[in-house]
Amino acid sequence: MLTIYDIAKITGFSPTTVSKVINNYPDVSDKTRNKIKKALVESGFKPNAQAQFLSTKKTWTIGVVYYEGVGIGLAHPFFSYVIQAFKHRVEEYGYSLLFGSKTDRLKNSTFLEYFKYSRVDGIVIISTEEGNKETEEIINSDFPCVIIDIRNNNAATVSSDNEKGCKLAIDYLYELGHRKIAHISGGFGDRNWSSTTRIKCYKEAMNNLGLNVPNGYIADGVNFDYSGGYSAMKKLLKLKDRPTAVFAAGDKLALGAIAAIRDEGMNVPDDFSVIGFDDIELARYVTPGLTTIRQNSTELGRSAADILVEQINQKKKLTVNNVIPVELVKRDSCRKIN
Task: With beta carbons less than 8 A apart as the criterion, state whether 162 and 198 touch.
Answer: yes
Among residues 155, 139, 221, 217, the alpha carbon closest in space to that of 186 is found at 221
How far is residue 169's CA from residue 247's CA, in Å, rounded to a whole number? 7
User: Is the torsion defined by CA of 225, 228, 230, 236 positive or negative?
Assistant: negative
The amino acid at residue 193 is W
Q: Out of DNA, a copy of itself, none, which partner does residue 23 contact, by CB within 5 to 8 A per kind?
A: DNA
Least distance in angstroms from the C-beta of 59 to DNA: 12
Q: Out of a copy of itself, DNA, none, which partner does residue 258 contact, by CB within 5 to 8 A per kind?
A: a copy of itself
Distance of CA 222 to the CA centre of its chain: 19
How far is residue 200's CA from residue 308's CA, in Å, rounded to a whole number? 29
The smaller minimum CB distance to DNA, of residues 115 and 277, is found at: 115
> Contact positions toward DNA, by CB under 7 A?
1, 3-5, 12-17, 19-20, 22-23, 26-33, 47-48, 51-52, 54-56
Least distance in angstroms from the C-beta of 245 to a copy of itself: 18
Q: Out of a copy of itself, DNA, none, which partner does residue 323 contact, by CB within 5 to 8 A per kind?
A: none
Among residues 226, 238, 250, 239, the alpha carbon closest in space to that of 169 is found at 250
How far is residue 316's CA from residue 321's CA, in Å, rounded to a whole number? 16
Least distance in angstroms from the C-beta of 120 to a copy of itself: 10
Q: Would strands 61-66 and 156-160 be described as parallel, antiparallel, or unpaired?
A: unpaired
Least distance in angstroms from the C-beta of 119 to DNA: 9
Quick check: helix, strand or coil at residue 208? helix
Task: With beta carbons less than 8 A apart as the criterion, state whether 156 and 318 touch.
Answer: yes
| φ, ψ (nearest 5 deg) of residue 238 | -85, -15
> Contact positions toward a copy of itself, by CB under 8 A?
1, 46-51, 53-54, 59-61, 68, 73-75, 77, 80-81, 83-84, 87, 91-106, 113-114, 116-119, 226, 230, 252, 255-256, 258-259, 262, 281-282, 284-287
Q: Out of a copy of itself, DNA, none, which partner does residue 81 contact, by CB within 5 to 8 A per kind?
A: a copy of itself
Least distance in angstroms from the C-beta of 30 to a copy of itself: 19
Q: Out of DNA, a copy of itself, none, which partner does residue 266 contact, by CB within 5 to 8 A per kind?
A: none
The smaller minimum CB distance to DNA, of residues 50 and 153, is found at: 50
R_g over Cα of the chain: 25
The smaller minimum CB distance to DNA, of residues 15 and 216, is found at: 15
Least distance in angstroms from the C-beta of 39 to a copy of itself: 16
Q: Out of DNA, a copy of itself, none, which partner does residue 292 contact, by CB within 5 to 8 A per kind?
A: none
Among residues 106, 10, 115, 114, the alpha carbon closest in space to that of 62 is found at 115
